[in-house]
Amino acid sequence: MSTRRLIVEPRGLASTRLKLLVPVASVIAALIVAGIFLLLTGESPVEVYAKMLDASFGSQRGIAETMISATPLILTGVAAAIAFKMQVWNIGGEGQFLMGAIFSAGIAIWLGDGFPATVMIPAVVIAGGLGGAFWAAVSAIPRVYLGTNEIITTLMLNFIAINFVNFLIFGSSSPWRDSAVATFPTGRPIPDAARLPEFFFRLDVGIFIAIVLAIIAWYLMGKTRWGFAVRVAGDSTDTARYAGISVPRKILGVFLLSGAFAGFAGGLFVSGPVGALDPRSLILNLGFTGIIVAALARLNLIAIIPVAVLMGALNNSGPALQSIGVPTATVSMLQGAILLFAVAGEFLIENRIRRPESVTVAANPEPETA
């Protein structure tokens, strides 16, 4: 009775090539799936994709806009990745991003016109991080001290933050609202000194700040004692306790750091391209998209940077699609499909599929029953 079924077993060690191949294949597969839907609705996928490519990379201005879109995604991607590495399911990047934006715009407006950029810009960036960390704390503290599942609380806090931004601008005469414009409520522009300098079309130095912050996160997680303890705790809570690592403090730290990164993104977006707490320019699912970035980058904090550029390019191409009569939602459909394929692709990275006969390396005998 020979069994000829394919055997699936843990791979243990995946080659770098495979780790690179799977995300690339995920993107291609998603393009094919979205292409099918485009065909079904009478569009030419080739034409649509060419248009998207052209909008995002076809001109210097396009590239600048792509980089502008990528900047917050680097940071929301890092936010998701460091939390997920620790098995902290912070899916509240959206809310933390917005709270960062609120804090940033708030401090800039509060400080007003009397300060130089050397004071204003650091203040705005730091305030963004604090805002994000504060919003994360609302979930993190119950999680750590009461054991409340953070998935639901972070999720719900997204919607509270969205409504809160709307409240500040549409529902009240808050300092964030521009009192000069009476017709339609908008955000009050922050002082010029708080705006990040632009250097390439509209592209501002926020992109460099984001990259530096991502590298700092990478160093912190991979090269420090704290990061090692976090990795142990993320791998096995019981083992961490056994090794004398304070798990609650690590969870709290990672959770707040994750929130801070999403908040940094909000801060940089306000002081960069947007220049005000403006709901229509800020509520773009950048927090959620960060999760896609993190997953496609396989939680690798450096790989997040190029992946964020890719996602930024997709986001950036939406308006161009509208001009040729294709729904902007093509972009979110594509992004959802990319995430689906990326997460499914983890299976290929984690597992090896082989025929039953070819016995491989001696590693593990019977699984331990204990």
d(CA 231, CA 85): 7
| Distance of alpha carbon 65 from alpha carbon 63, whole angstroms | 5
What's the rounded Cα separation, in Å, for the pair 314 and 56? Answer: 7
CB closer to another protein out of 119 and 329: 329
From candidates 152, 181, 216, 324, binder to another protein by CB under 8 A: 152
Q: What minimum distance in Å lies between the beta carbon of 154 and another protein?
A: 10
Tokens read off for 92: 């509240």
> From the list 122, 224, 319, 324, which residue makes contact with another protein (rule: CB under 8 A)?
224
Kindly identify the residues of this chain, within the stretch 8-67, that bind another protein according to CB under 8 A. Answer: 9-10, 12-13, 37-38, 41-43
Decide if residue 226 touches another protein (CB under 8 A): yes
Q: How far is CA 240 from CA 229, 235, 251, 270, 334, in A?
A: 7, 8, 12, 39, 39
As given in the structure block, the two tokens for residue 274 are: 């947007």
Q: How big is the chain, counted in residues?
A: 370
Q: Nearer to another protein by C-beta: 240 or 265?
A: 240
280 touching another protein, by CB under 8 A: no
The span of 70-78, 126-134, 218-226, 252-260 binding another protein (CB under 8 A) equals: 218-226
347 lies in the site for another protein, by CB under 8 A: yes
Q: How many residues bind another protein (CB under 8 A)?
A: 93
Burial of 110 (0-12, 13-18, 19+ CB in 10 A): exposed
- Taking phi over 0 as left and psi of -120 to 50 as alpha, with beta for the rest, 119 belongs to alpha
CB of 198 to another protein, least distance (A): 31
Nearer to another protein, 305 or 342 (CB): 342
CA torsion 269→272→277→283, rounded to 10°?
Answer: -30
Candidate residues 292, 301, 308, 313; the one interacting with another protein per rule CB under 8 A: 292
* Smallest gap from residue 300 Cβ to another protein (A): 14
Taking the C-alpha atoms of residue 15 and residue 348, their distance in angstroms, rounded to an integer, is 11
> Shortest Cβ distance from residue 261 to another protein (Å)?
18
Determine, following the binding rule CB under 8 A, whether residue 216 of this chain makes contact with another protein.
Answer: no
